[in-house]
Amino acid sequence: MRRLREILDEPGDGQSRLDKIVRQISGLMVAEVCSIYFKRQDSSLELFASEGLNPTSVHRTLLKRGEGLVGRCAELAIPVNEPDAQKHPAFSYRPETGEEIYHSLLAVPILRGGVTLGVIVVQNKTPRVYSEEDVDVLQAATMVIAEQVVSGAVAGIGSAVEISKSLSVVVKGEPISDGIALGHVVLHEPRIAVTVLLSDDPEAELGRLEAAHIRLHELLDEMMKQEAMSAAGAHREVLEAYQMFANDKGWIRRMRAAVEEGLTAEAAVERVHNATRTQMLRQNDPFWRERLRDLEDLSDRLLRILAGRTSASDHLAELPDDVILVARTMGPAELLDYDRTKLRGLVIEDGSGQSHVAIVARALELAAVGGAHRIIERVSTGDPAIVDAETGEVHLRPSPEVIQAYSDRVRFRARRQERYQSLRDSPAVTTDDVRVELNINAGLLVDVPHLHEAGADGIGLFRTELQFMVAPSLPRYEAQVAMYRQVLEEAKGKRVVFRALDIGGDKVLPYVRHASEENPALGWRAIRFLLDRSALLRLQMRALLTAASGRELSVMLPMVTVRSELEQARELIANEVRWLQARGDAGPATIRVGAMIEVPAALFDLDGVMGKSDFISVGSNDLMQFLFAADRGNPKVGGRYDAMSVSALRALKSIVTGGQKTSTHVTLCGEMAGRPLECMALIGLGFRSLSVSPASVGPIKAMIRSLDASRIAARLDDLMERGDGNIRTSLKAFAESYSVEI
Ligand code: PEP
Ligand code: MG
């Protein structure tokens, strides 16, 4: 490796250096042939240098993507070791190379940050199986080559070597926050690039490796302790797997051996990582794929420790102005650590639209895509990227044509947005003069200005749990009062409906003990949890009552299932009012207490529930998941049943009718209200108050202002009466024929 490094430091152009490298390796490995192929933009492989093959084939021989054993090595990113390559079914014979006399072949991918740049191949006349040591030697060589290629030291090789930086890739995921963003990638917890490969002082490097390994153990122990305290147990298995890896004697031994051969501690971590990765990728078993992620994470952590970075946020200071943040997983608090003025888009490998980071992304108006499988290994910090959260596609290193097309779309969206902006001060009124109250959903202070920017009537759902979820510990009473007061102040007299803490289910607070449950969505959550943990509810109600002193306070209770839950909560609130009054605080001028209808049982006691509520709000996200018994967070079933079907529409209609019968104010705050077609149906059902995400206010207002409410009501009655056919299709046809903006 030292010799290879020296070659790369010698004067000369890129080609002559590559020629020297292949000569050196073929001598070292006693191989008759050593060749280097680089991947071109179209994923074909071009022979760039060879010792042993016909010199005229260099730059002439091109292998199509996946062609032959070399193509296979590049495609699968694994070594190919064949004693008699010509007998292999995938062998592809290239007469111009004169390779017919060679039998054995060893090909190793040249990888950089998980991206295949090319392949290095050795061949021999006699059939032989290359040893593990041979594979190791070639792998070490690929590290040097990749490093030099990417750093530009091997200049003048031509367009093919720009591959790592210019290869365009489209990764498909799920949109989790609407928008289109163009910018440059910043990797959350970025992989440290190993730049110094060789060391003259193996003793010192061993010491560094040892110390970093001890620190890694300490960090894992700390994480484990925190995990035990949170008692959610969800990450315990992962951490146990980490600890198992960190203790793995083979892993440590291999890294030490690499240092003893003259590598720096960082290069040793990288090399062992690449080798283990190759072995694991051979396994098709998803278990091993998962373990590979663990190993990658551990290697990354070790590299960060060696680089003296203990926190993932050290690099936040030098952000570009148009950040496309790419993360494996991410919590809402981590996202909020970034400078919002620089964030444009977000891509997460894991994470669905229901995840909390998605909620924060929507609040920050970032274009965001989740479920972007294996994106981390295909991207580097600084890469240009486009997040298309209309389709769920992420374009990495897009071509100028793609950038142009997206810039046009961004301009188009901006024009549309301008049009919505022009509706800001116009009310949401139908063409037949029906006024619809249009509120926004919010949960963070950053959401509140949207209330005025979008021209909404108020905040129909303030998810108070978000403040709790992004905080490292339970927000104290004073912090809660300050937050609620600020929200009310910034709302400038418009109504705000605060929802009592909706935690449990998927919303876990790290500092609140919550035993793991078989069915968390059906478990100890929302009002069930609050009534059992009444101190928490009492504290929150006291904070709300204090913050709203002298004004109106609207509070709603999540997941009310039976009327007695409302009675208990109201009793608790009344006690708090008395407590405050006894201390001379008159409390709010008026108090409205409402129930969220999210559980089908409540549909069958609407009189009872409405009788005890000052207003009700339909949480259609949960109501639909329980009505159809289809987990809202599971993409396999979450989208299986249509809310525009007769059963769901009848359920929703019964709530409107119940509200009319009991003179109860009815609103709906689930995601369906924010989709123009669904919203049109809701107005047809008789809903006159809705709460949607801030970005949906414009499109929904435009839809309402182009709709005739009595006409859609008649059409919907008819469709529900008939109960057959595809209601969604019929609604689309309705919108089309009456020019409703959906
Ligand atoms: C709902 O369930 O529709 C709702 C608005 O609440 P959340 O999405 O916070 O559960
Ligand atoms: Mg809900």
At 164 the pLDDT is 47
Q: Cα of 267 to ligand 1 centre, how many Å?
A: 48
**Angle subtended at Cα 209 by Cα 205 and Cα 210, rounded to the nearest 5 degrees:** 115
506 and 571 in contact (C-beta within 8 Å)?
no
Superfamily of domain 202-306: PtsI, HPr-binding domain (1.10.274.10)
Closest Cα to atom 4 of ligand 1: 619
> From residue 57, how far is each of 37, 44, 63, 416, 586 by CA, in Å?
12, 15, 12, 56, 90
The pLDDT tens digits of the residues spanning 663-720 come to 999 999 998 999 999 999 999 999 999 999 888 999 999 999 999 999 999 999 999 9
Mean pLDDT confidence for 87-106: 88
Closest ligand 1 atom to residue 618 Cα is 3
* Pocket of ligand 1, beta carbon within 6 A: 461, 463, 502, 598, 619-622, 669-670
Task: Pinpoint the residues of the chain covered by CATH 3.30.450.40.
Answer: 2-161
- At 16, is the pLDDT very low, low, confident or very high (cuts 50, 70, 90)? confident
* Residue 576 CB contacts under 8 Å (≥ 6 apart), including other chains: 538, 541, 542, 545
At 205 the pLDDT is 94
Query: Tokens 């035990």, residue?
Result: 228
Mean pLDDT confidence for 61-68: 88
At 228 the pLDDT is 65
Task: Pinpoint the residues of the chain covered by CATH 3.50.30.10.
Answer: 169-190+313-415
* Residue 6 CB contacts under 8 Å (≥ 6 apart), including other chains: none
Q: Cα of 187 to ligand 1 centre, how many Å?
A: 31
Mean pLDDT confidence for 168-177: 89
* Residue 582 CB contacts under 8 Å (≥ 6 apart), including other chains: none
Three-class SS state of 124: strand
pLDDT at 157 over 70: no
The residue to mutate among 669, 678, 682, 693, having the most atoms of ligand 1 within 8 angstroms of its beta carbon, is 669
At 434 the pLDDT is 98
Pairing relationship of beta strands 615-618 and 174-177 according to DSSP bridges: unpaired
The pLDDT tens digits of the residues spanning 217-268 come to 888 888 777 656 554 444 566 667 777 777 888 888 999 999 998 889 998 9
* CA atoms of 415 and 555, how far apart (whole Å): 37
pLDDT at 311 over 50: yes
- At 379, is the pLDDT very low, low, confident or very high (cuts 50, 70, 90)? confident
At 483 the pLDDT is 94
Region at 712 (left for phi over 0; alpha for psi -120 to 50; beta for the rest): alpha
Query: Tokens 């919590």, residue?
Result: 331
Q: Cα of 605 to ligand 1 centre, how many Å?
A: 20
Closest ligand 1 atom to residue 502 Cα is 9
* CA atoms of 540 and 553, how far apart (whole Å): 13
The residue to mutate among 506, 508, 596, having the most atoms of ligand 1 within 8 angstroms of its beta carbon, is 596
Tally of CA atoms within 13 A in the half-sphere of 412 that contains its CB: 8
Q: Which ligand is nearest to the CA of 507?
A: 1
- At 344, is the pLDDT very low, low, confident or very high (cuts 50, 70, 90)? very high
Closest ligand 1 atom to residue 505 Cα is 10
Which residues participate in catalysis according to the annotation? 356, 669
At 515 the pLDDT is 76
At 664 the pLDDT is 98
For the ranges 188-202, 447-461, 554-568, the lowest mean pLDDT is seen at: 188-202
Cα Rg of the chain, angstroms: 31
Phi, psi (degrees; rounded to nearest 5) at 66? 75, 5
Mean pLDDT confidence for 352-376: 82
The pLDDT tens digits of the residues spanning 569-610 come to 999 999 999 999 999 998 999 999 999 999 999 999 999 999
Amino acid at 678: E
* CA atoms of 166 and 715, how far apart (whole Å): 53
Closest Cα to atom 1 of ligand 1: 619
* CA atoms of 123 and 130, how far apart (whole Å): 10
For the domain covering 169-190+313-415, report its CATH number: 3.50.30.10
At 447 the pLDDT is 85
The pLDDT tens digits of the residues spanning 258-309 come to 999 888 999 899 888 877 877 776 666 656 666 666 777 788 888 888 988 7
**Angle subtended at Cα 235 by Cα 231 and Cα 240, rounded to the nearest 5 degrees:** 105
Task: Pinpoint the residues of the chain covered by CATH 1.10.274.10.
Answer: 202-306
**With respect to CATH, is domain 425-737 assigned 3.20.20.60?**
yes
At 290 the pLDDT is 60
Closest Cα to atom 8 of ligand 1: 621
Q: Cα of 596 to ligand 1 centre, how many Å?
A: 9
Mean pLDDT confidence for 561-574: 97
- At 314, is the pLDDT very low, low, confident or very high (cuts 50, 70, 90)? low
The pLDDT tens digits of the residues spanning 505-539 come to 767 776 777 777 888 889 999 999 999 999 999 99
Q: Which ligand is nearest to the CA of 527?
A: 2
State what percent of residues in the chain have pLDDT above 90: 53
pLDDT at 442 over 50: yes
Q: Cα of 702 to ligand 2 centre, how many Å?
A: 27
| Closest by CA position to 728, among listed 667, 684, 678 | 678
**Which residue intervals of 38-177 are DSSP H helices?**
68-76, 132-151, 163-166
The residue to mutate among 354, 461, 559, 621, having the most atoms of ligand 1 within 8 angstroms of its beta carbon, is 621
Closest ligand 1 atom to residue 461 Cα is 5
* CA atoms of 268 and 274, how far apart (whole Å): 10
At 543 the pLDDT is 97
Query: Tokens 């926004």, residue?
Result: 440
What single DSSP character describes residue 456?
A: -
At 316 the pLDDT is 62
Pairing relationship of beta strands 169-172 and 393-396 according to DSSP bridges: antiparallel
Q: Supply 314's token pair.
A: 């050290």
pLDDT at 450 over 60: yes
At 370 the pLDDT is 92
- At 112, is the pLDDT very low, low, confident or very high (cuts 50, 70, 90)? confident
The residue to mutate among 598, 655, 668, 690, having the most atoms of ligand 1 within 8 angstroms of its beta carbon, is 598
* Residue 151 CB contacts under 8 Å (≥ 6 apart), including other chains: 195
* CA atoms of 615 and 659, how far apart (whole Å): 9
Q: Cα of 707 to ligand 1 centre, how many Å?
A: 27
Closest ligand 1 atom to residue 622 Cα is 2
Closest ligand 1 atom to residue 598 Cα is 2
Q: Cα of 620 to ligand 2 centre, how many Å?
A: 7
At 469 the pLDDT is 76
| Model pTM score | 0.64
CB atoms within 5 A of ion ligand 2 belong to 598, 619, 622
Closest ligand 1 atom to residue 463 Cα is 9
Phi, psi (degrees; rounded to nearest 5) at 578? -60, -40
Q: Cα of 598 to ligand 1 centre, how many Å?
A: 8
Pairing relationship of beta strands 33-39 and 104-112 according to DSSP bridges: unpaired
Please state, rounded to an integer, the average pLDDT across all residues of the chain: 87
Q: How far apart are the first and last CA of the chain?
A: 63
Closest ligand 1 atom to residue 625 Cα is 2
The residue to mutate among 463, 527, 528, having the most atoms of ligand 1 within 8 angstroms of its beta carbon, is 463
At 702 the pLDDT is 95
- At 168, is the pLDDT very low, low, confident or very high (cuts 50, 70, 90)? confident
Closest Cα to atom 9 of ligand 1: 463
553 and 591 in contact (C-beta within 8 Å)?
yes
Q: Cα of 461 to ligand 1 centre, how many Å?
A: 9
Q: Cα of 503 to ligand 2 centre, how many Å?
A: 10
- At 161, is the pLDDT very low, low, confident or very high (cuts 50, 70, 90)? very low
For the domain covering 2-161, report its CATH number: 3.30.450.40
**Which residue intervals of 350-435 are DSSP H helices?**
356-363, 400-422
